[in-house]
Structure 1
Amino acid sequence: MSLSIELSHLAGLRSSAATNLLPRISSLLPRLPEISITLQGSPASSNAQENEISSQIDELKQRIQNSIEIGTQSALSLWDGILRAAPKKKVSHQKKRQRQLAPGKKQLQHLNNLNRCPSCGHYKRAHTLCMNCVGEIRKYWKQLDAAKNEQEVSKPDQEKEVMKVGDSEESVDSVDQRILYPGKRKFLNELKHVEKEEYLERRPKTLPVEK
């Protein structure tokens, strides 16, 4: 009996010592982070995956935009010199000198068939019309045409004309006639043709013959 009592007393001492040592040992050990396990298909796992995917997509969009901006800047810098070097309509000084000083028959030939016009005294090519006289004649004809047009416009507007409307005849004023029957409308190309004096290159005037 005494042995059994001693053994039980020793066991109780050991258990009490073990319980006293546990908090000391746990204080010495480092604290581990909490581990949370989420099963697939649960709302918490799906939300986490969606957030991760959306963040990755945003990052990709930002990278693509940055690469596009860098690419456009580099492309524009490549084309900058080419676009600024666009050809102009004006003939360059080099081309003029090539035509004048080219070897052989490629260069501009001198005109040796120039004569004096008997009417105006300017230079002209032999067996051809004098361009100075032709220009003066055209100018005179234009002045005549302009005077005729002014006379037609300055006619009295109250003159009545008899016009046939169906089977009956009616007297219509010239103003009413212009409003009711305006005539043919000119198109844009016809207006440009009328204004050709502004953009057509004119033949340079010939020089008078020096005595």
Structure 2
Amino acid sequence: MSASTRFLEALLRLETSFFRWIGVNGHSPALVCNTIQTPEVTRHHNHDRQGSSVIESIFDSRLWAVPKFRRSLERRMTRRMGGEKHFETYGQPKNNIVACLECGHWHEKHTICGHCYAKVREETKHMQEAMGEEANFYAPQKEVAFLYEGEKDENSQEKFVVHLKKRRPEWFSKSLTSKQPSSDPS
């Protein structure tokens, strides 16, 4: 039950108890006043609001305001795509396009270059395949070291070593895989 429904019910209970206290039995003054009007107006009000209260008449049109008819797809798309709003959103040239410093491909300033990211993703896929099936189910408990063709590691006894049968890519430096000492002074 929504908060507006609970609020309306509380007001209706308050209104009912107030009318009982002042001596009006079950009818609000609005309905009593409607019977004094002309017969045409009285018939209209009695037909629409039989047994309604003052609170319901106040909040009826405001709390439950919803569209009466569904907006068709044609009208909805006309509103969405028509006019200046569509041009302001989609028709303006972008001012934040820059060239990647590594590969020269164009990308938005606040994003990663898609071409470079695809290369890294492909290399990561090869590294995962080289680790083998057992690494997928049983993660190594040691630090993982990836050795490409022609590389040697001095501390290979302390690490889980994965040998890759290809040369290291130029953009993937060896320092990216080694642990760096923390620069935290604490």
Give the TM-score normalised by the residue count of structure 1: 0.22
| Larger fraction in helix | 1
Relative contact order higher in (CA < 8 Å, ≥ 6 apart): 1
Bigger Cα Rg: 1
